[in-house]
Structure 1
Amino acid sequence: MSAATSPVRNVDGKPLPSAIKVGVSRTQLEVKQFFRERDQLIFTFFFPIIFLAIFSAVFGDSDFGSGVNAATYFTPGMIASGIFLTSFQSLAITIAMERDEDLLKRLRGTPMSPQSYFIGKIGLVLVTSIAQFGLLLAISGLMLGVDIPSEPSKWLNFVWIFVLGTASGSALGIAFSVVPSSGKAASAVVTPVVLLLQFISGVYFVYSSLPSWMQNVASVFPLKWLAQGMRSVFLPDGYEVNEPGESWQLGLGAIVLTVWLVVGLIAAQRWFRWTRRDAG
């Protein structure tokens, strides 16, 4: 084997583990640390569930058309919101805090590659998103009477919407982590952005009832398409006539989410910082 293709070895002459293997180990560490943080755990897992319960109680007697009740209508939006919380918001805040605490700087001084670090973060997002979705679906189905879809085609749509939404949210979260000036300011900077998008993207309100200008603004951002895609999965067939344009627009949604994924990747590659701004 030539030197150019020889694996990198440590001082003992043994090959160093691959970036993927180290990334998997990093994922396990990230997950353990996440579940040790009770405040973050409660906020991430129970915030959408609490809001779903509130909306179900407040609008319990309302008919959203085609026999859809409040719990059924708002469940897709809460699933989309949960994905955005565990990907965009969580990564933007935690990475900013780790940078401020010089954790990223110290990690750069270890043999672990940047790829392994990001694999660990994305792995954490996948684990927490799946766990949050499972918990939300169980509670909405068992306690709130939401009908869980059984058609394979709907679950196939759910898979690609979930994967693309998680990927775009993660890439944007990593890129946006450079915006807060410090770790302490991260929550104050990131959380209002997420709240604003939730209010205009059909998470807390019926999307078709929002002003047209607000719908136009929301259609630029990924959360609107993630929520609309989830409605196509969990709302009954034919309900799309209640949507603007009388269609789920899954093709356009896939394009918008993909564009934001590419934007996030490019922005992260160009502007991501491993050290604080005052470090030069």
Structure 2
Amino acid sequence: MTATPAAVVPRAAAPLPSPLRIALARAAVETKVLFRERDAVVFTFALPIVFLVLFASIFSDSAEGTGVTVAQLYTAGLIGSGVMGTGFQNLGIGIAGDREDGTLKRLVGLPMPRAAYFIGKIVSVLVMTVLQVAILLAVAVLFFGLELPAEVSAWATFAWVFVLGVSAASVLGIAVSGLPRSGKSATAVITLPFVVLQFVSGVFIPITALPDWLVNMSSIFPLKWMCQGFRSVFQGDAGAALELTGSYELGKIALILAAWLVGGLVLCATTFRWKGRRDG
């Protein structure tokens, strides 16, 4: 008598990881990929240090009548520039490259929340920026006599300006990634406005030395306000006299950076493309 084979019960498919776990895994991947580009990493870390060495060596030790040192002035500006450069410039160029080589198109076909890709990118920007700031501060303290603020309130200000700045710069980088017609043109298209913003936002040239029309233009964009917020941390009350209004306007800084964050999110939601122009 032939035995009847037992019915095969199909096994239930394993549940997918939670969206948070997927996002964190994607963040780890993006960070690893970022640090494998050694030339880009070295350039990103070295550029603000080179500028600090040049400016601290060329200009006088302090602003007349205030006691604010060149190290204090340019450290604040270069931190703002680093935040904007990593979030806006590097991220925008990187995503344009992902779109060009088909990475975005492949990710769309995976069972992965699309938000995980963006979270991964923003976390990689945060890691890079934190390291960049730490190295810049170490160089400024060890070689140029920068005195770090002792007040907890100053570091609290640094924290919220930094978080809002990184967030706003990152969503703007995501939004601007769709402007270049190809990955090859992304560097030129995205770098040009960033370079202009550095010169009119108080990074290289004191904001009080600029003509009114340039100040009005820079006041529209977030980099000017990030630099102003960081100056409040490193220059303290003595440096407020160097501001156009005689005040750091911290409340206004928070509102403008938050507005750019919200506006950037709206731009991302309405304009972001997962496919290149050639893909239709």
Q: What interval of TM-score do these two structures reach, taking the shorter chain for normalisation?
A: over 0.9
Find the counterpart in structure 1 of residue 209 from structure 2: 209
What's the counterpart of residue 158 of structure 1?
158
Letter in 2 for 1:173: G
Give the superposition deviation at 1:12: 4.5
Residues 1:74 and 1:64: Cα distance change in structure 2 (over 3 Å): farther
Matches of 2:261 and 2:61 in 1, distance apart? 39
For residues 1-280 of structure 1, what are the structure 2 equivalents within 5 Å? 12-61=12-61, 63-280=63-280
The question of whether the paired residues in 2 share the 8 Å contact of 1:232 and 1:248 is answered with yes
1:242 Cα offset (Å):
1.7
Percent of aligned pairs sharing the same letter? 46
Gaps spanning 5+ residues in structure 2: where?
A: 1-10
Runs of 4+ deviating beyond 4 Å = none
Aligned match of 2:4: none
Tell me which amino acid in the other structure corresponds to 2:236.
Answer: P
In the superposition, relative to structure 1, how do residues 13 and 150 fare at CA in structure 2: closer, same or farther (>3 Å)?
same
* CA distances 1:4-57 after superposition (whole Å, capped 9, x unpaired): xxxxxxx84322111211111111111111111122102211111111111011
Contact 1:76-1:227 within 8 A present in 2 as well: yes
Partners of 1:143 and 1:231 lie apart in 2 by: 19
Contact 2:92 2:176 in 1 (8 A): yes
- Structure 1 runs not aligned, ≥5 long: 1-10
CA distance in 1, matches of 2:181, 2:65: 46
Q: How many residues align?
A: 270
Give TM-score scaled by structure 1 length: 0.94
Specify the alignment match of 1:6 in structure 2: none
Give the secondary structure class of the aligned counterpart of 2:205: coil
Question: For the pair shown, which has the larger CA radius of gyration, 1 or 2?
Answer: 2
Q: Secondary structure at the match of 2:197?
A: helix
Deviations 1:76-112 (A, max 9, x none): 0000000011111111100000000011000111111
Kept after mapping to 2: 8 A contact 1:78/1:203: yes
For residues 61 and 167 of structure 1, the distance between their equivalents in structure 2, rounded to whole angstroms, comes to 33
Instruction: Judge conservation of contact 1:198–1:223 (CA < 8 Å) in 2.
Output: yes
TM-score, with length taken from structure 2: 0.94
Deviation at 1:62, TM superposition (A): 5.2
